[in-house]
């Protein structure tokens, strides 16, 4: 059975039932744009009010077109569904009803079942496209992953990029494939019982290839500023609709099961209703109740207000948030690093781990030394543990290191395995970064494809970013940081899959599969009953930690761990049913001989008080 899905956009090129195409452009600074088709025909656009212009023309599926402005300049459609070549060129008319979905009845998976696997389409495989990802889905299914999360795919200029410099937010980048290739990938993800997530960027456009300022300068405002310049003006109705429909477009037309919203702390909106609130409410009202659709934030401000639950425990707006606090704690424990933002976590690191595993955020309104005493965060202890996405690595935390160092390059295998044994089993939703499952030590660097003055500015700007880290205080040392524009920087970041078949990586994958199987069988069934405030922690020895989550049904999940390089005494009596032990005989020997370095024990016990 084949299904057809299309999201009706109020702008861009929309194919009508009679086959004609309605072109609609918001160009409030123009007097009369013209649609120019590749066949040479021109179609003047009439005013439709509120800064919009419209024209109707015959343009078959795949027709190339651009808009000519009052001064004769030709620009792509900001709501292009696909580009003929690169971001600077012509857009293509796409009729989404032509694609036949084979698994259109898929309704997703409950959030408690999610294990995220983040990947970059261009470097995940040698092929570097959507089809290359599709060919590795069996690997992810065997691993125990339930959610494939793509870094941004919105069209960006050039041949390569992280995706966070996208300029055409509705068009999958041509380097990765056409719209049908992306839909095929999502369809195949669903065929395996997995979910598909997409990272979207609503806080800025890339510095090259965005033409909105030429015909819609009202899209931006000088009232607010971001690290990328003038802020997007969310007081404009057309701007709000642009992003709301972008979310609906990916969820309805491409059947993604979830979106990850990049750096929403950089979205500045002083409207009566914040754009994030309106977006979430609109999306949830528009989608069928039986679909499991998950909206996940990245928010450095730790604003728990967007994560509130209703009386039944369902998300009012956003399902979860990437928990950078958890990452920073894991990283400091594993590496001992205290430079840059890690300084905020280098004090009572064991207490920070206890807080993040029992309450979510470490910073819930406390002053941040790294931020010169700025108060950061809001209380989060009232939220269930699954409100938080925890990780030991992701694209930012690896790629924003000067040399793209993965954790496996920085620490011993024993350390990395102990961190994984906590991360993958603990109640917060875990995220893996591509290659982590086989202990890859291959760098993942920041890369782009800019030219001339912009390339130089990006290269030097990246090197300046590291000046606050003590190891890069010397300007000469910073010159060793790889150039993001170099071909070699991109090539070095591409995963080496032949390495994954070697004995040691195979052992890593068996270990990760074991932990994810444990999570599926013993942890996930308990998560739906795990409410807020259900966790308690106690410390022992110099580094020992025990955390207990009451999971209902008169049982509790217990973590007993020594995440340090020295043995620890004093864990006390441990009883209950063994779920996992990092060292043979650990459950029996821990009380008598102590916990060895980098040891982790998971048990279930009756939910009686300590």
> Could you identify the residue written with the tokens 């025909």?
41
Instruction: Specify the CATH number for the domain of residue 76.
Output: 2.60.40.10
385, 535 Cβ separation under 8 angstroms: yes
Instruction: Assess whether 298 carries a catalytic annotation.
Output: yes
- Last residue in a domain, options 98, 125, 160: 98
Confirm whether 430 is domain-assigned. no
Instruction: Specify the CATH number for the domain of residue 595.
Output: 2.60.40.1180
484, 446 Cβ separation under 8 angstroms: yes
Confirm whether 554 is domain-assigned. yes
Which candidate, 296, 80, 107, 132, places its Cα nearest to that of 199? 296
Confirm whether 507 is domain-assigned. no
Confirm whether 251 is domain-assigned. no
- Last residue in a domain, options 67, 98, 129: 98
User: Residue 60 belongs to what domain range?
Assistant: 12-98
Confirm whether 103 is domain-assigned. no
In the DSSP assignment, the letter for residue 568 is B
Query: What pLDDT sits at residue 577?
Result: 94
Instruction: Assess whether 208 carries a catalytic annotation.
Output: no
Confirm whether 277 is domain-assigned. no
Q: How many helices (H) does the chain have, and how many strands (E)?
A: 19, 28
- Residues 399-436 have pLDDT tens digits of 989 999 999 999 999 999 999 999 999 999 999 999 99
Distances (CA, A) of 99 to 62, 254, 537: 13, 10, 52
Residues 6+ apart with CB under 8 A from 535: 357, 358, 359, 385, 427, 547, 548, 549, 550
Which candidate, 142, 218, 253, 69, places its Cα nearest to that of 520? 142
Query: What pLDDT sits at residue 1?
Result: 56
- Last residue in a domain, options 98, 123, 157: 98
Angle formed at CA 132 by CA 130 and CA 137, multiple of 5 degrees: 95
Confirm whether 480 is domain-assigned. no
Total number of domains constituting the chain: 2
Q: Which of 113, 129, 199, 298 is catalytic?
A: 298
Q: Which of 77, 86, 262, 325 is catalytic?
A: 262
Length of the chain: 610
Rounded Cα distance, 527 and 386, in Å: 8
Query: What pLDDT sits at residue 610?
Result: 55
Give this prediction's pTM.
Answer: 0.97
Q: Which residues of the chain have pLDDT under 70?
A: 1-2, 607-610
Query: What pLDDT sits at residue 457?
Result: 86
Long-range pairs, 304-313, Cβ under 8 A, ≥24: 304/360, 304/361, 304/364, 304/377, 304/378, 304/379, 304/380, 304/382, 304/383, 305/378, 306/264, 306/276, 306/277, 306/280, 307/380, 307/383, 307/387, 308/383, 309/383, 309/384, 313/384, 313/531
Confirm whether 117 is domain-assigned. no
């Amino acid at each position: 059975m084949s299904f057809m899905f299309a999201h009706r956009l109020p702008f861009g090129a929309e194919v009508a039932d009679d086959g004609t195409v309605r072109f609609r452009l918001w160009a409030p600074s123009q007097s009369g744009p013209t649609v120019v088709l590749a066949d040479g025909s021109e179609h003047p656009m009439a005013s439709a009010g509120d800064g919009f212009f419209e024209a109707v023309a015959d343009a078959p599926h795949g027709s190339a077109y651009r808009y000519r402005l009052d001064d004769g300049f030709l620009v792509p459609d900001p709501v292009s569904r696909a580009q003929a070549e690169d971001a600077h060129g012509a857009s293509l008319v796409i009729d989404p009803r032509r694609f036949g979905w084979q698994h259109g009845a898929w309704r997703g998976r409950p959030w408690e079942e999610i294990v995220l696997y983040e990947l970059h389409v261009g470097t995940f495989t040698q092929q570097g496209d959507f089809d290359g990802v599709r060919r590795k889905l069996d690997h992810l299914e065997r691993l125990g992953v339930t959610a494939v999360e793509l870094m941004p795919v919105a069209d960006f200029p050039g041949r390569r990029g992280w995706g966070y410099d996208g300029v055409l937010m509705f068009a999958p980048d041509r380097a990765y494939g056409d719209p049908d290739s992306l839909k095929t990938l999502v369809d195949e993800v669903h065929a395996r019982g997995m979910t598909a997530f997409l990272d979207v960027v609503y806080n800025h456009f890339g510095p090259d290839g965005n033409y909105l300022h030429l015909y819609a300068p009202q899209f931006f405002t000088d009232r607010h500023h971001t690290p990328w310049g003038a802020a997007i003006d969310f007081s404009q109705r057309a701007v709000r609709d642009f992003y709301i429909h972008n979310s609906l477009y990916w969820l309805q037309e491409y059947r993604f099961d979830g979106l990850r919203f990049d750096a929403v702390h950089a979205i500045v909106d002083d409207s009566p209703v914040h754009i994030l609130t309106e977006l979430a409410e609109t999306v949830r009202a528009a989608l069928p109740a039986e679909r499991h659709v998950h909206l996940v934030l990245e928010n450095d401000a730790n604003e728990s207000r967007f994560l509130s639950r209703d009386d039944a425990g369902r998300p009012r707006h956003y399902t979860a948030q990437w928990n950078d606090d958890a990452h920073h704690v894991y990283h400091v424990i594993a590496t001992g690093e205290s430079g840059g933002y890690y300084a905020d976590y280098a004090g009572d690191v064991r207490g920070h781990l206890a807080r993040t595993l029992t309450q979510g955020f470490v910073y819930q309104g406390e002053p941040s030394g790294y931020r010169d005493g700025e108060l950061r965060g809001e209380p989060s202890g009232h939220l269930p543990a699954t409100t938080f996405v925890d990780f030991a690595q992701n694209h930012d935390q690896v790629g924003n290191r000067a040399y793209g160092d993965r954790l496996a390059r920085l620490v011993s295998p024993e350390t990395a395995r102990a961190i994984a044994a906590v991360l993958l089993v603990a109640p917060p939703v875990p995220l893996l970064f591509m290659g982590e499952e086989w202990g890859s030590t291959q760098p993942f660097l920041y890369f782009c494809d800019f030219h001339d003055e912009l390339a130089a500015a990006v290269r030097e700007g990246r090197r300046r970013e590291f000046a606050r880290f003590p190891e890069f205080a010397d300007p000469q040392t910073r010159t060793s940081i790889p150039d993001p524009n170099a071909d070699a920087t991109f090539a070095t970041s591409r995963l080496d899959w032949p390495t994954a078949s070697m004995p040691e990586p195979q052992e890593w994958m068996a270990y990760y599969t074991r932990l994810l199987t444990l999570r599926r069988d013993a942890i996930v069934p308990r998560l739906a009953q795990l409410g807020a405030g259900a966790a308690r922690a106690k410390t022992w020895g110099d580094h020992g930690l025990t955390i207990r989550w009451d999971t209902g049904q008169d049982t509790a999940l217990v973590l007993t761990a020594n995440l340090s390089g020295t043995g620890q005494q004093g864990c006390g009596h441990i009883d209950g049913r063994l779920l996992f032990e990092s060292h043979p005989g650990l459950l029996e020997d821990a009380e008598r001989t102590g916990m060895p370095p980098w040891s982790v024990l998971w048990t279930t016990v009756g939910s009686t008080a300590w």
